[in-house]
Amino acid sequence: MEPKIVKKAPFVVDLQEGQRYFWCACGMSSSQPFCDGSHKGTGITPVAFTASKSEKAYLCGCKHTKTPPFCDGSHNKL
C-alpha cells in the first residue's frame, strides 16, 4: 500500500525535549501528523522518535519524505 498524501506541505509542530512521538507514515490518522492507530492492516507502521530538544519542527505531510518524520521537500515533486 502507498501512503495517503495528507497535504503537500509540512505540519509545523512544537516538540518537547524528551517526549516520545509517533509520526503517522500511512496518512490515515485523524490526528495528523501523529499516529492514532489507523494504520492497522495497511502494512505501514508509524515512525517513533524522541525529541532531542524543545523546538518547532516541520513534519512531513505528504508521507513521501526520505528523512522521516521530517519534511525534506518531497511534496514539491508530487
pLDDT digits (tens, 9 = 90+) for 59-69: 999 999 999 99
Domain that holds residue 49: 1-78
Q: pTM for this one?
A: 0.94
pLDDT at 1: 85
CA 73, 19, 53: angle at the middle one, nearest 5? Answer: 65
The number of distinct structural domains making up the chain is 1
Cell numbers found for residue 54: 524543545
Q: Which residues of 22-45 are buried (b: 16+ CB within 10 A; e: fewer)?
A: bbbbbbbbeebbebeebbeeeebe
